[in-house]
């Protein structure tokens, strides 16, 4: 149901950019890509979402390929507080944000 | 702070009991969602309300029920509790249920059934 594929885990050095990939090869034209993260057992935190164009906010950038079959979340300067599980979600009609298993990002000092 | 408030933060109860979890959505949000996260599982969608009406159902057990009140707060009722119901229960809200409307999550209620 998740319709997305993410690597189970990644490491990133503190201060470097963290690039988290996501494949969503069956995405349809009106479906958005969302990114959330969950730190320990806190509530999932909304990061960013997009439809076709690249998006940037104060937390991250979202790069969506032209064919929309994959995307990358970029945390420009990772800190230890960015260690979390990151979820890439494709929201489809009637799909109430089904979370997959995500990518466990560890930021290393 | 997402603006979504959930109470209580922690709840410990015995098997067979009934509990009520409460959620206040962000100001202006009309849609409320409930999710369950067990120890070994991901976030499971339970149910969604929009402006007081049930909008979608996920993997919600018959022992569980929910409602959204006129002031838009929502309650999730869990009855005949079993050990396996021990989990984190999250509430989320959004302005409306459209595809481009992000969900904002509260910090959850941790339920322990003994």
Note the pLDDT tens digit of each residue in A26-69: 888 888 999 999 998 899 999 999 999 899 999 999 999 999 99
pLDDT digit string (tens) for B26-64? 999 999 999 999 987 788 999 999 999 999 898 899 999
Instruction: Find chain A residues with C-beta within 8 A of B88's C-beta.
Output: 41
Averaged confidence pLDDT in chain B: 94
Q: Please tell me the predicted confidence (pLDDT) of residue B4.
A: 97
Q: Report the distance separating Cα A53 and Cα A88, nearest Å.
A: 16
Residue A44 C-alpha, separation from nearest chain B C-alpha, in angstroms: 6
Half-sphere exposure of B99 (CA within 13 A, CB side): 16
Q: Which of A41, A93, A98 sits opposite B99 (nearest CB)?
A: A93
pLDDT confidence of residue B41? 77
**Closest residue of chain B to A52, computed from CA coordinates:** B100
Under DSSP, the state recorded for B26 is: P
**Please, which pLDDT band fits residue A99 given cuts at 50, 70 and 90?**
confident
Q: Return the SS3 of A81.
A: helix
The yes-or-no verdict on residue B66 having pLDDT over 90 is yes
Q: Do A31 and B103 touch (CB under 8 A)?
A: no
Average pLDDT over chain A, rounded to an integer? 91
Residue B110: name the closest of B45, B37, B48 by CA.
B37
CB-nearest to B106 from A43, A46, A96 is: A43
Least confident of A1-10, B18-27, B77-86: A1-10
The verdict on a CB contact (< 8 Å) between B103 and A97 is yes
H-assigned helices in chain A: none
Among B113, B103, B107, residue whose Cα is nearest residue B33: B103
């Amino acid at each position: 149901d998740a319709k997305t594929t993410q690597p189970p885990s990644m490491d990133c050095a503190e201060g470097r950019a963290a690039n988290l990939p996501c494949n969503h090869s069956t995405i349809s034209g009106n479906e958005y890509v969302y990114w959330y993260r969950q730190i320990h057992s806190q509530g999932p935190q909304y990061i960013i979402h997009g439809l076709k164009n690249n998006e940037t906010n104060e937390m991250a950038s979202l790069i969506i390929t032209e064919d929309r079959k994959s995307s990358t979340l970029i945390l420009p300067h990772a800190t230890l507080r960015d260690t979390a599980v990151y979820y890439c979600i494709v929201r489809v009609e009637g799909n109430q944000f089904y979370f997959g298993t995500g990518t466990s990002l560890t930021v290393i000092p | 702070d997402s603006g979504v408030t959930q109470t209580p933060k922690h709840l410990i109860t015995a098997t067979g009991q009934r509990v009520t979890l409460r959620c206040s959505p962000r100001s202006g949000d009309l849609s409320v969602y409930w999710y369950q996260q067990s120890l070994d599982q991901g976030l499971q969608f339970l149910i969604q309300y929009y402006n007081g009406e049930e909008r979608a159902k996920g993997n919600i057990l018959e022992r569980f029920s929910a409602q959204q009140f006129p002031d838009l707060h929502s309650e999730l009722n869990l009855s005949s509790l079993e050990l396996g119901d021990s989990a984190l229960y999250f509430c989320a809200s959004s302005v409306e249920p459209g595809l481009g409307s992000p969900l904002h999550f509260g910090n959850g209620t941790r339920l322990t059934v003994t």
